[in-house]
């Protein structure tokens, strides 16, 4: 079947090859600065100082664009896995809290912890909120349903960066939510952007707001297929509304919840745009923004560092998905 070739070729060239390229790049670091002694003469006499030799650097970069070979050094340095720093922190710290504070100062672990917190806090909240909305919408009159679905889709469909910006402008201390919060807590200095904790909470709230529509739509579609006779017989047996939801609806929708959880785990693990939109890199960096800021740094991107973080992230994705992968593999073997 020749039909598969265009898409297979595109995937090999732009997905498989880049991953190999990332793995290769992660073994290199940028060149050391070449210094030259420059005589600089001013009105107060001449002195010699060390400067970066820009011409020699440029030549070196064209000769060896990858940088110099560093082996696995990038993986273990302070801005990645930081084994040395971890050992030192463990030895020097008095208690677990102290150790944790020190770990939070290491960029990779800080990003990893934020990413994991975001993933595992937002995902369950999305499922619960989506389910509540779906049940509520199912109970209201049919005339409302069309508009409700239309408006509910908006937070999910709108570009994540723009969605984040819209909320960011509203929580500005001069924006509607920011100003209202200041009045509510009677604290004119209150700013959601200033404290790391509040920034984290804001990002979580954004995440739930953005993804709840997805869970709602899937649950709502599922609710339409709940067997009516089971519900009726439960009603005949005297089950209250709450009992019917608990013993009939929820078990019936369980597979859908698993599906949503899987999708959300994957989407939330790569959280990126909200952190950029909320300008929150200082207090909440995720694995993705860590790579992004490496590639954006200074005059010349830190390819080696970005590549090492990328590979560690891909590794994290595989670990995250491994239960699902194993289950799918078993089902596949079973069927085939």
Partner 1 sequence: MPLVALSTGFVLLWLFLAAFPFIWTAWGSFKVEADFFSRTDWMNAFTGPATEAQTGSSFTGSGYHGAWIEQEFWRAVLNTSIVVFCVVTISLTFGTLGGYALARSGFKYTFWILIAALIFRAMPHVTLVSGYLLPFFEMNIWGYLPTTIIVLVAINQPFTLWMLHSFFMTIPKDLDESAMVDGCTRFQAFRLAVIPVMWPGVVTTGLFSFLLAYNDFTVTSMLLSQENQTMIPKINSFLGSTQQEGKVMYAVAAAVSAMAPLFVLVMVFQRQIVSGLTAGAVKG
Q: Of 237-296, which residues contact partner 1 (CB under 8 A)? A: 241, 255-256, 259-260, 263, 265-267, 269-270, 272-273, 276, 279, 287-288, 291-292, 294-295
Query: Which residues face 41 on adjacent strands?
Result: 46
**From the list 38, 50, 221, 254, which residue makes contact with partner 1 (rule: CB under 8 A)?**
221
Using the rule CB under 8 A, is 300 a contact of partner 1?
A: no
Using the rule CB under 8 A, is 144 a contact of partner 1?
A: yes
List b or e across 93-112, with b for residues whose CB sees 16 or more CB atoms inside 10 angstroms. eeeeeebeebbeebbbbbbb
Q: Which residue carries 């997905």 as its tokens?
A: 15
Cα distance between residue 245 and residue 131, in whole Å: 11
Q: Between 89 and 312, whose beta carbon lies closer to partner 1?
A: 312
**From the list 78, 113, 169, 245, which residue makes contact with partner 1 (rule: CB under 8 A)?**
169
CB of 329 to partner 1, least distance (A): 7
Site string for partner 1, 72-111 (x = CB under 8 A): ----------------------------------------
Q: Which of 305, 283, 266 is nearest to 111 (CA)?
A: 283
Query: Which residues face 47 on adjacent strands?
Result: 40
Cα distance between residue 57 and residue 31, in whole Å: 8
Using the rule CB under 8 A, is 149 a contact of partner 1?
A: yes
**From the list 172, 191, 231, 239, which residue makes contact with partner 1 (rule: CB under 8 A)?**
172
**CB distance 222 to 133 below 8 Å:** no
Q: Between 82 and 217, whose beta carbon lies closer to partner 1?
A: 217
Using the rule CB under 8 A, is 44 a contact of partner 1?
A: no
Using the rule CB under 8 A, is 60 a contact of partner 1?
A: no
Q: Kindly tell me the burial class for residue 5, based on how many C-beta atoms sit within 10 Å of its own C-beta (0-12, 13-18, 19 or more).
A: exposed
What is residue 45's three-state secondary structure? strand
Using the rule CB under 8 A, is 218 a contact of partner 1?
A: yes
CB of 7 to partner 1, least distance (A): 4
DSSP 254-279: HHHHHHHHHHHHHHHHT--HHHHHTT
């Amino acid at each position: 079947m020749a039909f598969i070739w265009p898409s297979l070729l595109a995937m090999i060239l732009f997905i498989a090859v880049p991953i190999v390229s990332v793995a290769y790049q992660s073994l290199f670091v940028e060149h050391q600065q070449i210094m030259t002694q420059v005589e600089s003469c001013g009105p107060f006499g001449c002195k010699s100082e060390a400067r970066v030799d820009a011409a020699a650097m440029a030549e070196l970069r064209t000769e060896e664009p990858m940088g110099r070979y560093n082996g696995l050094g990038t993986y273990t340095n302070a801005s990645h896995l930081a084994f040395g720093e971890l050992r030192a922190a463990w030895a020097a710290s008095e208690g677990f809290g102290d150790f944790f504070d020190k770990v939070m100062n290491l960029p990779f672990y800080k990003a990893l912890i934020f990413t994991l917190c975001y993933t595992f806090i937002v995902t369950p909240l999305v499922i619960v909120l989506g389910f509540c909305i779906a049940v509520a919408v199912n109970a209201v009159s049919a005339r409302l349903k069309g508009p409700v679905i239309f408006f509910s889709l908006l937070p999910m469909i709108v570009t994540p960066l723009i969605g984040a910006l819209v909320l960011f402008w509203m929580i500005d201390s001069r924006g509607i939510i920011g100003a209202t919060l200041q009045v509510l807590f009677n604290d004119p200095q209150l700013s959601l952007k200033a404290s790391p904790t509040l920034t984290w909470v804001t990002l979580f709230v954004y995440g739930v707001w953005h993804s709840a529509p997805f869970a709602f739509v899937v649950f709502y579609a599922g609710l339409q297929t709940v067997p009516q006779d089971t519900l009726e017989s439960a009603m005949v047996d005297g089950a209250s509304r709450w009992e019917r939801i608990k013993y009939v609806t929820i078990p019936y929708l369980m597979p859908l919840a698993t599906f949503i959880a899987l999708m959300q785990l994957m989407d939330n693990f790569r959280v990126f745009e909200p952190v950029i939109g909320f300008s929150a890199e200082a207090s909440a960096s995720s694995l993705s923004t860590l790579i992004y800021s490496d590639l954006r740094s200074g005059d010349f991107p830190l390819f080696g560092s970005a590549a090492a973080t990328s590979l560690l992230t891909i590794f994290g994705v595989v670990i995250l998905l491994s239960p699902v992968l194993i289950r799918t593999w078993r089902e596949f073997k079973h069927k085939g």
